[in-house]
Structure 1
Amino acid sequence: MNNNLKTPLTAALMSLAFTATAQEPLTECVMDQFKHGEDNLTLSEIRSICQQSAELTQPTEPETNIPGAITNRITNERRTEHDAYVLTPHKMNYILPVYTSDSINRGAYINRNGYPENLEDIETKFQLSFKVPLNQNSILTENDGLYLGFTLQAWWQTFASDISKPFRETNYQPELFYLAPLNWHPLGGNTGLVMGMEHQSNGRSQGLSRSWNRVYAHLLFEKNNFALSLKPWYRLSENEKSSVDDPEGDDNPDIADYMGHFELTTVYQWDKYEFSFIGRQNFSTNKGFGEIGLTFPLWGKLRGYATVSDGYGESLIDYNHSQTRFGIGIALSDLL
């Protein structure tokens, strides 16, 4: 800028610069224009240039509280969850008419004559899961909830004609849990906490009986169409059996060696498709389980469901048996 710049303009620029000391980007811009700007710039033009520059360089805070996939599901459920004629899904509801195994668990039934050798490696699996809210108003924090949940899984030997197509295994899982959102928004996402206790058993008598009780916590994270759940648990101890035929005591004391102490679930929605992964691992025994799932649109409310899994604990009777399974069928509800 020309050294012959008029004194009133010089004074005005200096005044603007010093009154903006609390806004360093604006101050630096004013001083830069004073030293290097064109001669014909007016005070108004310099002010406009520097204000625009300051706005562009102003750091922006990440957006928070944008509803993600978990929030959207909860919001939709709460519109009807107190309706007496509506059952609210909990976990997935599906049927896999064709569910294959590379190694069906015959060893668990070794003492049942004629049964293990006639088991088929292809069977049918289905899951029914729903939950019931126990509160209508918030309990401890806004939008929290207390629920009773129940999940039934069944493995049906529909292709085993020689043994009258029995249900090979059925698992029952009642639970009580509390759900609450958290005021924590890492990476611009949302979080929530679930705490609960659950019982899981197969309802069988000695020899085939499997069960355990757990207390657990979920840490939930969502961002847009991505959701993640980390679910660590603690198994409640039971008394040892005095003998194999003792109806009292622990049916499967080593179950945690195979089922681990946590479960990781990730879900991603893309257009009308939902991709999921469920994994468990016991790092001390190096035993675990992994499952990949895909749901896709068919017609109406019905969705296709394909899944592949590998490892231990696909059912309670199989908690210490490793196998690879593949299934395809129909889902009535997704994970999200």
Structure 2
Amino acid sequence: MRLLRLSLFIVLLIFSYSLHAQGLFKKKDSIVTKSLSESWELDQKDKNGTFRLNSYKPFYILPLQWSNRINKQPQSIGSEPAFEEPIDYQSTEVKFQLSFKTKVLQSFLFGKGDLWMGYTQTANWQVYNKKLSRPFRELNYEPELIAIFPLTFNVFGFKGKMVGVGFNHQSNGRADPISRSWNRVMLHFAVERDNFQVYLKPWLRIGSGSEEDDNPKIEDYVGRAEANVIYKKNGHSLDLLWRNSLSFNENHGSIQFNYMYPIRNNLRGHLQVFSGYGENLIDYNHYQTTIGLGISFVEW
């Protein structure tokens, strides 16, 4: 409880300092907001060559994440519970995410395409659970390979910026009965208008229905596509991520909201709210709502 109170104090201190230092959406000159072209080096003027580390998805740590229904007894569809008795997990834990990408091939295929490698890792850490020796409840590893091509068109004021295709692997690196992994071929499409960026990513799962499938029907719960709408202004970011199974019978999915606001340079306060299935892989078929408070470190 002492560590929990300390973490709560730190988070409240960060939020209080930021709100005192600036009004909502007040300009902060040290914050640089990246366009889609700058993030993915789409235009010739933004090309930076290969094998340079770049930010990818949000890079954050949430010292406090609370779940209204923590998963104490993981269970795959069609299987028995992984453990005979529920695990005594606490509803409050730490969550963090690391994410970066690097270009491995520039201007291939008639000089138009770039090939990127990405890596994202998320962790749910029961750091306040002294009774269980503060274990990592779940670690997810997500490497991917993405071919991106620039676009130039306008529809209703939105500028088409890029299209691509990628191979995505996600796993938790655990042994049975709590092993979880899947492979996907993902399409990438993005448009931009003023301070708005919109990403659309439908995907096709590879290897569904095999005898070695350790998370059957994951696409029916986590989804078959996602839409990510991002609004950025003066260092503030509002991010709405929606995933859906695209099923008319039993429609599942999730929605996640992130709000990041500037504190100093690239340091931001971070609020995250999630509701639905698949907060992580071990919870792919587990419905919950989570609220997290913390900090983000870089623009993505």
- Output the TM-score relative to the length of structure 2: 0.79
What's the secondary structure of 2:281's corresponding residue?
Answer: coil
Query: Within 2, Cα distance between the matches of 1:115 and 1:165?
Result: 17
1:92 aligns with 2:58: yes
1:302 aligns with 2:267: yes
1:221 aligns with 2:200: no
> 2:209·2:216 contact (CA, 8 Å) conserved in 1?
no
Q: Give the direction of change, closer, same or farther, for the CA distance of 1:219–1:116 in structure 2 (3 Å limit).
A: same
Residue matched to 1:187 = 156
Query: Within 2, Cα distance between the matches of 1:96 and 1:81?
Result: 33
Residue matched to 1:232 = 202
Q: Which has the higher strand share?
A: 2
Cα shift at 1:230 = 0.9
Cα shift at 1:215 = 0.1
State the percentage of identical aligned residues.
Answer: 37
Residue matched to 1:164 = 133
Determine which structure has greater relative contact order: mean sequence separation of CA pairs < 8 Å that are 6+ residues apart, divided by chain length: 2
Query: Within 1, Cα distance between the matches of 2:236 and 2:85?
Result: 43
What's the secondary structure of 1:73's corresponding residue?
Answer: helix
Cα shift at 1:70 = 1.1
Query: Within 1, Cα distance between the matches of 2:85 and 2:134?
Result: 13
> 2:73·2:83 contact (CA, 8 Å) conserved in 1?
no
Q: Is the radius of gyration larger for structure 1 or structure 2?
A: 1
Residue matched to 1:269 = 232
Tell me which of 277, 287, 294 is aligned to 2:252: 287
Q: Give the direction of change, closer, same or farther, for the CA distance of 1:105–1:81 in structure 2 (3 Å limit).
A: farther
- Output the TM-score relative to the length of structure 1: 0.71
Unmatched 5+ residue regions in structure 2?
Answer: 1-33, 76-80
Unmatched 5+ residue regions in structure 1?
Answer: 1-67, 242-248
Cα shift at 1:194 = 1.9
Residue matched to 1:327 = 292
Cα shift at 1:312 = 0.2
- Give the aligned length: 257
What's the secondary structure of 1:170's corresponding residue?
Answer: strand
2:36 aligned partner, one-letter code: I
Cα shift at 1:190 = 2.1
Cα shift at 1:111 = 4.9
Residue correspondence of structure 1 range 307-322 to structure 2 within 5 A: 307-322=272-287
Cα shift at 1:322 = 0.5
